[in-house]
């Protein structure tokens, strides 16, 4: 039997703890009952900067029948393995997966391993080609609307940080980590409380997963854009694509949150969609060393601590509106992330080393129907209008930018440490209050003040704000039932970020696994 023993803390001076004494004390068992220990999870406790600790959850293997004390923080390890409930009814046509981001990738992988030979459609390019398209855009401002940060093999998360932290507690999270490691991700992601792969490594991992799907008989068709859906008798019968019509009985809609044209096509062809809240704002950049000093004090730079990360939030209980940081990229870059030729989008990215001069995160405010109305695509139009206003304000893909001091109306004092924006295409000085909705500007001002008290230097006048950040999550939510199937068109399984039920690589991948299991239920691959 294996148990998890949590909350075992040790100072930084203990780099390789001996867990056995603490484990025996917590379990109350004999030393001879203990078969082995291993680190299951490791996190940093920096609440006291003069006494930073590493906190561990340890997997403990004990003999069958051993008598254990029932203690808080001790539980049996129960990890789930995806096991499709197959039947004897084969599909007439191969299952189709639309999108090759985390949800589509893991949905396709599960289908392929079960012998179903899925057809995966991706409107963007394969990784090698996509990387060249992205780098050309960052260098020259020449955007390919179908191959960019939003579209292409791996999805939008491939060109961010490869962050795998999630708030969901689904048992398949460990499965996703294991699959990433088998595909070439570093082993450390299995134990870190805030795991990340890094953009540079994640590109290779994505290609390895694609190759496995192909080796199992699946197909990945790049440069294939879904343009509409054929429905017969309330069920999906075919997809209309840029490469022709594809018949289908079951389809996983594993769309990214920027799949605006496909959202519209779904709505037009009867696949139920409604608007949902999301958030907009800016990216905020600080010097990386200042963030490390603020969080770790004299321990800044300690090799056991890794990159310094923060997560800050404040909610108004009366209005329900929140201001918070999101997608924090230590030692990273603010990147051009547009997918339309007349709009500016910003995002954040880190390489695996996270050793850049600046650290950045989204600083955003929640928006909802009060701001854009209740039409199913109203949030989408709200995003697009903000992105286009930024493009008009700039006159190009250079992003509007302002120091925190100027945004707060305080100016930037002489001698204040200036942060140089990292945005590849350059920035233009701008008053971001002219760009952002008033309610967003007001909440950003409030957030800067509150967060500056919690994290010294967060509101430093020389820190910079680069805008707009608009693609925090999907502006729509698909109507799906408890089986993850569309409520309005049978055989359609919306999943991942674009469906409105996931946020980030991990939760999207897990959602894709669940979608695959539902698609396969009662079916035979032959």
436-459 burial: b if 16+ Cβ within 10 Å, else e: bbeebbebbbebbebbbeebeebb
Under DSSP, is residue 36 helix (H, G, I), strand (E, B) or coil?
Answer: strand
Query: How far apart, in whole angstroms, are the C-alpha atoms of residue 384 and residue 125?
Result: 23
Bridge-partner residues for 121, per DSSP? 98, 221
Dihedral sign for Cα atoms in the order 439, 261, 159, 39: positive
DSSP characters for 376-420?
Answer: TTHHHHHHHHHHHHHHHHHSSSSEEEEEHHHHTTS---TTPPPPP
pLDDT beneath 70, residues of the chain: none
Q: What are phi and psi of 298, to 5 degrees?
A: -70, -15
Q: For position 497, what pLDDT does the model report?
A: 96
Q: For position 109, what pLDDT does the model report?
A: 98
Residue pair 184/162 in contact by the 8 Å Cβ criterion: no
Span 303-331, pLDDT tens digits = 999 889 999 999 999 999 999 999 999 99
Bridge-partner residues for 283, per DSSP? 362, 466
> Which pair of structure tokens corresponds to residue 236?
């999906």
Q: For position 168, what pLDDT does the model report?
A: 82
Q: For position 70, what pLDDT does the model report?
A: 80
Q: Name residue, tokens 């969901």.
A: 168
Query: How far apart, in whole angstroms, are the C-alpha atoms of residue 23 and residue 38?
Result: 11
Q: For position 420, what pLDDT does the model report?
A: 97
Q: For position 125, what pLDDT does the model report?
A: 98
> Which pair of structure tokens corresponds to residue 10?
């040790």
The share of the chain scoring above pLDDT 90, in percent, equals 92
DSSP conformation class of 50: T
**Alpha helix stretches (DSSP H) within 247-377:** 260-268, 288-296, 369-372
């Amino acid at each position: 039997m294996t148990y998890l023993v949590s909350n075992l803390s040790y100072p930084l001076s203990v780099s390789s703890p001996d867990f056995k004494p603490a484990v025996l004390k917590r379990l109350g068992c004999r030393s001879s009952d203990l078969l082995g220990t291993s680190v299951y999870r490791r996190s940093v406790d920096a609440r006291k900067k003069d006494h930073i600790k590493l906190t561990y959850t340890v997997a403990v293997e004990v003999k069958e029948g051993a008598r254990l004390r029932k203690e808080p923080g001790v539980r049996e390890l129960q990890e789930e393995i995806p096991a499709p409930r197959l039947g004897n009814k084969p599909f007439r046509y191969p299952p189709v997966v639309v999108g090759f981001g985390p949800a589509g990738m893991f949905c396709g992988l599960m289908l392929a391993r079960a012998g179903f030979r899925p057809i995966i459609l991706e409107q963007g390019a394969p990784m090698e080609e996509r990387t060249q398209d992205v780098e050309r855009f960052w260098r020259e401002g020449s955007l390919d609307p179908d191959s960019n940060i939003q579209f292409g093999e791996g999805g939008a998360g491939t060109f961010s940080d490869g962050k795998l932290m999630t708030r969901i507690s689904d048992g398949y999270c460990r499965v996703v980590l294991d699959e990433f490691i088998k595909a070439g991700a570093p082993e450390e992601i299995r134990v870190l409380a805030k795991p990340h792969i890094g953009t540079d490594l994640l590109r290779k991992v994505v290609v390895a997963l694609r190759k496995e799907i192909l080796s199992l008989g699946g197909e990945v068709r790049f440069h294939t854009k879904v343009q509409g859906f054929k429905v017969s008798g309330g069920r999906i019968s075919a997809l209309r694509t840029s490469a022709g019509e594809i018949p289908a009985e079951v389809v996983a809609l594993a769309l990214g949150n920027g799949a605006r044209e496909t959202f519209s096509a779904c709505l037009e062809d009867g696949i139920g969609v409604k608007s949902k809240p999301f958030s907009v704002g800016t990216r905020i950049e600080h010097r990386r060393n200042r963030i490390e000093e603020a969080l770790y004090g004299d321990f800044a730079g300690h090799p056991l601590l890794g990159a310094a990360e923060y997560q800050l939030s404040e909610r108004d209980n009366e209005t329900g509106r929140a201001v918070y940081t999101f997608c924090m990229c230590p030692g990273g870059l603010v990147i051009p992330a547009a997918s339309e030729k007349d709009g500016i989008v910003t995002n954040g990215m880190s390489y695996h080393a996270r050793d850049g001069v600046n650290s950045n995160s989204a600083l955003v405010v929640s928006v909802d129907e009060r701001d854009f109305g209740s039409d199913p695509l109203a949030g989408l139009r709200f995003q697009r209008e903000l992105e286009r206003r930024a493009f008009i304000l700039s006159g190009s893909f250079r992003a509007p930018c302002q120091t925190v001091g100027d945004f707060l109306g305080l100016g930037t004092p002489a001698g204040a440490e200036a942060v140089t924006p990292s945005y590849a295409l350059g920035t233009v000085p701008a008053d971001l209050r002219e760009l952002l909705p008033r309610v967003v500007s007001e909440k950003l001002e409030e957030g800067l003040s509150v967060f500056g008290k919690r994290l010294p230097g967060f509101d430093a006048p020389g820190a910079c704000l680069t805008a707009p950040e608009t693609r925090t999550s999907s502006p729509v939510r698909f109507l799906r039932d408890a089986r993850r199937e569309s409520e309005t068109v049978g055989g359609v399984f919306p999943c991942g970020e674009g469906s409105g039920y996931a946020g980030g690589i991990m939760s999207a991948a897990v959602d894709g696994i669940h979608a695959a299991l539902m698609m396969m239920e009662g079916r035979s691959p032959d």
